[in-house]
Amino acid sequence: MRPDTPADHTTEAERLLRTAGQYPEDREPLLLRAAAHLELAGERERATTLYDSLLSSSPADPLLIRALKAANLWEYGHEAEARAIIDGVRRARPAEPEPWEIVAETLEAHDELEASEATFTEAASLLVEPASTEDVSYPLQSLLAGRHRVRRLLALPHDDHDALADRLHTGDVPLDELHDPKRLWSLGSSDPAELQAEITRLRSELGSYRTALSRPFPVAVLHWPEAELDELLAAYPELEAEYPTYRAHLTDIEASLRELAQSGTPNLGIVPATVPSYEAFAASESSSPANADLLPQYATTLAARGHATPWPPARGAACWCGSGRTYGECHGGDAQE
């Protein structure tokens, strides 16, 4: 169950901090996730303390952490420090899209639209080939969509990167309509049909927005390799209701991920599960591995520790299920639609 209240977020942050103590090799992703929960709980000073702790320990991705810290600082009154950090991140020219998007969205959120567009454009020029069609990673797609949104707010004409964002967009509502500034007027309409159309557009837009919890972390689904699933069910037959057959397990994974994607959930991933790892997780939670409620928590913890593989794979890449066939020939085929 996802946290819904500030107290829930604080509780989840504390759990992640304990897990970081148990798995020091995964300290960085776990503390980043804990900081995101603290932000959502309104405990922004504690979140800053976590970011500072990470930055003092030679992190793997310091520019991402600095970008997150800047976004957090600006939200509770430290604008000057946030701006200085943002300028430093931009000068460093990150090789990954996430830091760029975070600082650009921070500027956008505080009505610095020209600076936001300049940041998005600098990142797109550095990281994205406009002629690309397939195999553009989700983080780059998200960056291009954010840039498209800001440019629409500024009434700028489409360029090659906007055209690429349009080609990559898979939602029912086109990006031009989704990002139309005039849509705000529809919310004041007395026409029920017009209001319903706007609600539909807003739901689609919400799915494309980066939230604190989805920044660098995917929503993950467990994949039990066949031998591991056999071992799991032999030891804990109570879980057979969750996994009636291995084939059904694979089908459920693909169907669940497609449903999440259609609802607009970003950063989807698959995490490989093993019985020893699951048993250790259950022990850390003072629970029995036979408790099916632990399974989504186990998946979330593995994802936070950096063990998720992004989904979907490119159609020509190996399928996530381990069949040896390409994704397009296996679970990514049209027959799976």
Range of the domain at 296: 219-336
Residue 264: both structure tokens together: 């607009």
Do 224 and 310 share a structural domain?
A: yes
To the question of pTM greater than 0.75 for the whole model, the response is no
Question: Are 316 and 269 in a shared domain?
Answer: yes
* Residue 328 sits in the same domain as residue 266: yes
Task: For residue 244, give the DSSP letter.
Answer: S
What's the rounded Cα separation, in Å, for the pair 203 and 291? 34
Residues 170 and 78 in one domain: yes
197 found inside a domain: no
Asked if residue 229 and residue 156 are part of one domain, the reply reads no
DSSP state string for 72-110? HHHHTT-HHHHHHHHHHHHHH--SSHHHHHHHHHHHHHT
Count CB-CB contacts under 10 A for residue 273. 21
> Which of 153, 182, 211 is a domain's end point?
182
Strand pairing class (268-272; 219-223): parallel
pLDDT digits (tens, 9 = 90+) for 85-103: 999 999 999 999 999 999 9
d(CA 237, CA 42): 42
Domain boundary among 130, 156, 182: 182
Residues 178 and 223 in one domain: no
* Lowest-confidence segment of 83-87, 192-196, 204-208 by average pLDDT: 204-208
My answer on whether 65 and 177 are in the same domain is yes
Looking at the structure, tell me whether residues 103 and 164 fall in a common domain. Answer: yes
Segment 165-187, tens digit of pLDDT:
998 887 777 888 778 776 655 55
Q: Would you say residue 36 lies in a domain?
A: no
- Of 158, 182, 206, the residue at which a domain comes to its end is 182
Instruction: Please report whether residue 19 resides in a domain.
Output: no
Domain count along the chain: 2
Residue 210, pLDDT above cutoff 50: no
